[in-house]
Amino acid sequence: MNSKKDTIKRLIIYLLIAFIPFWVVIPILNNHFGEPIYASEKAMTAAYAVGVFGMLIPSIAHFITRLVTKEGFKNSYLGLNFKGNAKYYIASVVVKVVEVIIFAVLAWRIFAGDLSFSEAFASDERITRISTYLLQISASIIIFFPAFGEEWGWRGYMMPKLTELMGRPAAIIVGGVLWGLWHAPLTISGHNFGVDYKFFPWLGILIMCINCTFFNAFLTLITEKTKSIYPASFCHMVNNNCGGMIFLTIFGSEALLTKLAEVSAISMMPYMLCTTIVVGTISFIVLIKDDSKKKKQAA
Range of the domain at 61: 4-298
In the chain, the number of structural domains is: 1
Q: What is the mean pLDDT of the chain?
A: 94
Nearest one of 232, 222, 65 to 157, comparing CA atoms:
65
Contacts 24+ apart (CB under 8 A), 26-35: 26/50, 26/185, 26/186, 26/188, 26/189, 27/185, 29/189, 30/188, 30/189
Query: How do residues 41-50 score in pLDDT, each as one tens digit?
Result: 999 999 999 9
Look at residue 295 in the predicted model and tell me its pLDDT. Answer: 87
From CA 105, how far away is CA 100, in angstroms rounded?
Answer: 9
CB 204 within 8 A of CB 193: yes
From CA 231, how far away is CA 250, in angstroms rounded?
Answer: 25
Look at residue 126 in the predicted model and tell me its pLDDT. Answer: 77
CB 280 within 8 A of CB 215: yes
Look at residue 1 in the predicted model and tell me its pLDDT. Answer: 54
Query: How do residues 60-82 score in pLDDT, each as one tens digit?
Result: 999 999 999 999 999 999 999 99
Q: Is the model's pLDDT at 238 over the cut of 90? A: yes
Q: In which band, very low, low, confident or very high, does the pLDDT at 139 lie, cut at 50, 70 and 90? A: confident
Query: How do residues 9-42 score in pLDDT, each as one tens digit?
Result: 999 999 999 999 999 999 999 999 999 999 999 9
Helices (H), the chain: 4-33, 44-54, 57-68, 86-111, 117-120, 126-139, 144-153, 159-166, 168-182, 184-188, 202-226, 230-241, 244-251, 254-260, 265-298
Q: Is the model's pLDDT at 2 over the cut of 90? A: no
pTM for the structure as a whole: 0.95
